[in-house]
Structure 1
Amino acid sequence: MLAKMIRISLLLLPLLSLAASRSTAQRTIWRGRSGGFDVAWTDRDITARRASDGALVFSARRIADAEWAEMEDVSDEEATVKEYERTVRLLSVVGSIVSLEEATYCDCGGVHPIMWTRFVAYDLARGTAAHPHPARITDLVPEREVLRALAGDALVRQAMDSAHVRASASPAAMTEALKRVEVQPPGDECTYGFGEFPAEFALHHLEGGRVAVRFSLGHWVEICRGRYIQVGVLVPPPARLVPDLSAAGARRAGFLMKDQRAIAGDRKTTFNYTPRRR
């Protein structure tokens, strides 16, 4: 009887090992090649590698790890951070430009946890995994075109009127002038503000030879923490970006934000951190 039980156990071991390996395997949400990079979004990370040599050039988890490392000080007995969480979604992949939705939660020891959500964009061709390079919309589109499009948006115009700004010399100057101004969309009980506006973007769709750019505006008042809205404008893309936009629009290489839900549904990737026990 004992010998029979041992034989059964030996037969089951490979099956149990296979089941364990499958349970720990990364689940792929989206994978594709764009601008000479292999981009992979799994339930554990969003990464990019150079197609030519496989070198890792981007990792959303590494960014979150680095931010947590700065916050956590194990030698500080008065440290108050209890939990830090980062949730990311891949919004668009065009050429070497990747845009993400980044939601952050921090129980930092205050009366209430703090939360914020924003878009972030990176240029894979100009950064490394250790030092990712933030992309700005003005890296892709002439400043005058960005300013013209933004000035035609109702919410941006509302903010400009509140700040008594008639015109701006650049998107960076516009951001500086408007960062202390809150805006309130019609029918919304929350108000929102301008953060690092030119850098918080994703590429949404193509329309009439132009590209739709979506910017994120984060919450202004704490009662609305974690919420954000989008400002969308149409701008003419530079000629060098047109092939990449066309490929992303057809989902041949990368994708645009318009297809994000069809690709991933509600799936997200979450990194969670708690202080180490002393």
Structure 2
Amino acid sequence: MFMSSVVMVVLLAAPAQPAAAAPLKWKVSGTDVAFEMTAEDLRALRGGKEVFGLKSREKGFLSNFEVEEGQDPTGWEAFQSFKVLSVVGPWVSYEESNSGFTGGAHPYASTSYVLKDVSKEQGSFSLMKVFPEKDVLKALKADTFVRKHISDQKAFDAAKTVEAMLETLDEGEDCVGFRYGLDAVERGVAFHHIEGNKVAVRIAFGYASEACRGNFFVVGILLPIPASLKPALDRAAKRTEGFLMKDAKAVKAPTVAFSWEPPEPKEKE
């Protein structure tokens, strides 16, 4: 009887929950930046203080929404997500998506790539400060998807800067926002993989008009690796400090999502 009771207790006991995986931690060589990554978040710390994080953005996201007196919020909703793509040195690349409806003529939707240098102020990174602009221009001019959208071949061939080249492209039937794409080339990028002495870079262009809202278009180019960038890329490729986009799934890079709906109306007494 005693043994039967023991067996019954074991069968009725709740199954043990697996322990949460320990954060993956690494320090960026030559800097005071340290990263902590779990399947739910990516944080960058300097002196123990968070300088970059994903889950910590929820409060700011929710603060954007307020239903004013007299408004009818029926059908309103909002969503935001961040998907980590690559981490090279202090550079974090992620895909940011925003969508919803909070009044007005139509819903909103956008998706973009963002690259942040967590060791510096916002906006400090530019792809064309890390790679020679002539190399970026040459790679973009050679891309099949880009060439499909040439509207002025003579001006395209003559363009000496990325900005001038983008102005020669047409949005096409797929509604690519090339003409507004200089910021995308500079900061809307992620590092995908290494091929020999080149790195594959992904650039995400947005849409050209509101009729195409929510669309985005990823162009892949190969760029010669500058000597100054090679050590950080090599460490990311080996996953000792960060990782490249091709390995994001393998390292369980996080996706963080937030949502908002208006509060239920109070019942009149």
**1:193 aligned to 2:177?**
yes
Q: Is the 8 A contact 2:191 2:201 kept in 1?
A: yes
Residue 65 of structure 2: aligned partner: 72
TM-score (norm 2): 0.74
Residue 118 of structure 2: aligned partner: 124
Superposed displacement of residue 59, structure 1? 2.2
| Distance (whole Å) between structure 1 residues aligned to residue 206 and residue 25 of structure 2 | 29
| CA displacement 1:113-161 (0-9 Å, x = unmatched) | 322221110111113xxxx446321132111111111111122223333
**3-state SS, counterpart of residue 263 of structure 1:** coil
| Distance (whole Å) between structure 1 residues aligned to residue 176 and residue 21 of structure 2 | 35
**1:168 aligned to 2:148?**
no
Residue 144 of structure 2: aligned partner: 154
**3-state SS, counterpart of residue 230 of structure 2:** helix
**3-state SS, counterpart of residue 161 of structure 1:** coil
Residue 12 of structure 1: aligned partner: none
Count how many residue pairs are aligned between Structure 1 and Structure 2. Answer: 244
Superposed displacement of residue 85, structure 1? 1.2
| Distance (whole Å) between structure 2 residues aligned to residue 122 and residue 79 of structure 1 | 38
Residue 10 of structure 1: aligned partner: none
Which of these residues, 95, 101, 114, is aligned with residue 95 of structure 2?
101
Q: Is the 8 A contact 2:41 2:255 kept in 1?
A: no
The amino acid of 1:230's aligned partner reads: V
The amino acid of 1:229's aligned partner reads: F
Residue 205 of structure 1: aligned partner: 193
The amino acid of 1:135's aligned partner reads: F
Residue 46 of structure 1: aligned partner: 42
**Which aligned pairs between 1:76-91 and structure 2 lie closer than 5 A?**
77-78=70-71, 82-91=76-85
**3-state SS, counterpart of residue 228 of structure 2:** helix
Q: Is the 8 A contact 2:79 2:258 kept in 1?
A: yes
Residue 260 of structure 2: aligned partner: 273
Distance 1:96 1:44, change over 3 A: same
The amino acid of 2:93's aligned partner reads: S
**1:253 aligned to 2:253?**
no
TM-score (norm 1): 0.72
Distance 1:54 1:168, change over 3 A: farther
Percent identity, please.
Answer: 32
Superposed displacement of residue 164, structure 1? 6.7
Superposed displacement of residue 237, structure 1? 2.2
| Distance (whole Å) between structure 1 residues aligned to residue 102 and residue 165 of structure 2 | 31
Superposed displacement of residue 29, structure 1? 7.9
Moved more, 165-174 or 115-124: 165-174
Coordinate RMSD, CA, aligned: 3.5
Distance 1:111 1:210, change over 3 A: same
Distance 1:173 1:83, change over 3 A: farther
**3-state SS, counterpart of residue 243 of structure 2:** coil
| CA displacement 1:55-76 (0-9 Å, x = unmatched) | 211123455654654x435556
Moved more, 85-94 or 111-120: 111-120
Superposed displacement of residue 269, structure 1? 1.2
- Structure 1: gaps spanning 5 or more residues: 1-14, 185-189
| Distance (whole Å) between structure 2 residues aligned to residue 134 and residue 59 of structure 1 | 18
Q: Is the 8 A contact 1:99 1:202 kept in 2?
A: yes
The amino acid of 2:248's aligned partner reads: Q
**1:182 aligned to 2:193?**
no
| Distance (whole Å) between structure 2 residues aligned to residue 243 and residue 224 of structure 1 | 40
The amino acid of 1:171's aligned partner reads: V
- Structure label with greater radius of gyration: 2
The amino acid of 2:98's aligned partner reads: T
The amino acid of 2:255's aligned partner reads: K
**1:137 aligned to 2:131?**
no
- Bigger helix share: 1
The amino acid of 2:52's aligned partner reads: F
Q: Is the 8 A contact 1:49 1:56 kept in 2?
A: yes
